[in-house]
Amino acid sequence: MKVRRSIMAAAAVAVLGTTGGLVIPAVASAHASHTLKFIDVTNNMVTFTRTTFGLQETDTSAGKTIGFDDVFFTITGKNSLRGNVALDIKGGLLYGIVTTTNGGKTFSGKVTGGTGAFQGATGTITAKAITSTKTAVTIIYS
């Protein structure tokens, strides 16, 4: 159980966040590339089953809250996780899927769509754990 909790804590840190500023979604060109960079701070975690858990997180940039996210994780192996992400920021909801194979030290994944300004969005998600409760996240989407 300690290993599972360690993976969960690491996942909480590495799911969504990167130092730097946030680039707010532009409504202009549907094909223009946009980059979101922020720090993800885990506020709460709930274990659903032996292999699934959820995280509730606050997303910050330059010391200001810019949004929130929820992640549903499934433990897929000794050091691996798969997560479904919903990011709630100015412009709507951005959806994605992330995975890790190193116990939550880093994550990578893809943007799978969204609502509002993010409807039909595609792109990439990368994240790196800073501490057990903070993660640096970069999302590039168009």
Sorted by where each begins, the domain ranges of the chain are: 2-141
Give the sign of the dihedral formed by CA 105, CA 114, CA 48, CA 109.
negative
Q: Provide the pLDDT for residue 8.
A: 47
Q: Provide the pLDDT for residue 9.
A: 46
User: What does the DSSP 8-state code read for residue 23?
Assistant: -
Q: Provide the pLDDT for residue 30.
A: 54
What's the topology of domain 2-141?
AOC barrel-like (2.40.480)
Does 3 have pLDDT greater than 60?
Answer: no
How many CA atoms lie less than 13 Å away from 90 in the CB half-sphere? 11
Q: What is the pLDDT of residues 102-137, one digit of tens each?
A: 999 999 999 999 999 999 999 999 999 999 999 999
Q: What is the pLDDT of residues 49-98, one digit of tens each?
A: 999 999 999 999 999 999 999 999 999 999 999 999 999 999 999 999 99
Residue with token string 């274990």: 47
Residue 53 near residue 73, CB atoms below 8 Å? yes
Nearest to 130 by CA among 106, 114, 98, 112: 106
Question: For residue 10, what pLDDT band results from cuts at 50, 70 and 90?
Answer: very low
